[in-house]
Structure 1
Amino acid sequence: MNVHTQISDYLAAQPERKRGDMQTLHAMMLRLMPDCRLWFLDGKDESGRTVSNPNIGYGRFTMAYADGRTREFYQIGLSANTTGISVYIMGLDDRTYLAETYGGALGKATVTGYCIKFGTLRNIDLSVLEAAIRDGIARTST
């Protein structure tokens, strides 16, 4: 199954309210990164055990680990979770940057080092979320 079909199936499987929000965010990501690499991670490890929620990824950058290893990964991730939606902005070195820069203006969201988590789009300022995503893209683009 190709990545576009996996993403479509994943979005279609979401409850109605969450599906609309996820589709809005997916469309925004395709507008912001029209030629990006798309990823779909089903949340399972090599043995088939569930280790995370499934997620859609956009773009690519090289993650560097402390031991010197590297791996290719997405720049921005989108995932449904039990209480709402998570947007992952990968590759930020400063773990306080997102919260300090965007946390206060986002609305009803929890912001960690690389994750913005919220219940529904109506609870946040979408333009601030888009600004945070654009910032993350710019910081991790080569």
Structure 2
Amino acid sequence: MSIEKQIKTYIDSQSGSKRADLQSLHIMILDLMPKTQLWFLDGKDATGKTIANPNIGYGLQMINYADGSFKEFYQIGISANTKGISVYIIGIKDKEYLAKTFLAIIGKATITGYCIKFKTIKDINISLLKSAIQYGINQTSVDLVLKCLL
């Protein structure tokens, strides 16, 4: 099954408002990243055991590990969870940036070093979420270009 079909199936499998919110976020991110690489992770490990919520990824970056190894991964991700939706902004260097910049003003959300969680889009300022996502895209796109030049 193609990644686009997996994404559509995943979004369609969600209940009413969560499905609509995921679809809105999907469209918003595609507008920000029109020619992006899409990812779909089903949340299962190599044995088929569920270890995480499925998630949709957008973009491409290189994640470097302390041992010198690296892997390709997405820049932005979205996922339904039991209490709502998580938006992942992967690869930003300052793990306090999102909380310092957006927590007090984004609305009813929790923010970690790379994740913004909320119950529904109606609970947050969508234009601030868009700004946070754009920040992540800008940060990790610059890093990818620099890594390719080195």
TM-score under structure 2 normalisation?
0.93
| In structure 1, distance between residues paired with 2:96 and 2:19 | 30
Q: 2:148 aligns to what?
A: none
Kindly report which structure 2 residues correspond to 1:70-81, keeping only aligned pairs within 5 A, or say none. Answer: 70-81=70-81
* Matched residue count: 142
Name the amino acid aligned to 2:12. A
| In structure 1, distance between residues paired with 2:129 and 2:17 | 19
Q: 1:66 aligns to what?
A: 66
Percent of pairs with identical residues: 56
Can you list the C-alpha shifts for 1:76-118, whole angstroms capped at 9, x where unaligned? 0000000000000000111111100111111000000000000
Deviation at 1:138, TM superposition (A): 0.2
Gaps of 5+ in 2: 146-150
| In structure 2, distance between residues paired with 1:136 and 1:24 | 19
Name the amino acid aligned to 1:3. I
Q: 1:134 aligns to what?
A: 134
| In structure 2, distance between residues paired with 1:129 and 1:103 | 11
| In structure 1, distance between residues paired with 2:123 and 2:76 | 21
Runs of at least 4 residues off by over 3 Å: none
Secondary structure of the residue aligned to 1:43 is coil
